Amino acid sequence: MKPTNTPIILVPANPMEPSPTNSQTLLVNGGVTILAIFALTYFSKTLIDSISKLVEVWQKK
């Protein structure tokens, strides 16, 4: 009996989902960061306005 050279091909049983590329991950994280900056800017502005109104009322007393 002669040995034969049979190529073996390995195939995963559970094909993996393609993971997002680094650029996609950075794009999503960048978008979240920009939204967070806008939210902080808005709330900081409203907080400063509220504090200034409170100081005005306090100084009138």
Q: Residue with structure tokens 């680094």? A: 22
Rounded to the nearest 10°, the torsion over CA 19, 21, 22, 26 is -90
State how far the Cα of 51 lies from the Cα of 44, in Å rounded to an integer.
10
> Is position 45 within any domain?
yes
Cα-flanking dihedrals φ and ψ of residue 44, to 5°?
-65, -40
3 has a pLDDT exceeding 70 = no
> Is position 56 within any domain?
yes
pLDDT digits 0-9 by tens, 10-60: 776 766 666 666 677 777 788 888 999 999 999 999 999 999 999 999 888
Domain that holds residue 55: 22-61
Instruction: Determine the pLDDT at residue 21.
Output: 67
41-46, Cβ contacts within 8 angstroms, sequence gap of 24 or more: none
Domain count of the chain?
A: 1
Cα-flanking dihedrals φ and ψ of residue 41, to 5°?
-65, -45
> Is position 39 within any domain?
yes
Q: Quote the pTM value.
A: 0.47
> Is position 33 within any domain?
yes
> Is position 48 within any domain?
yes
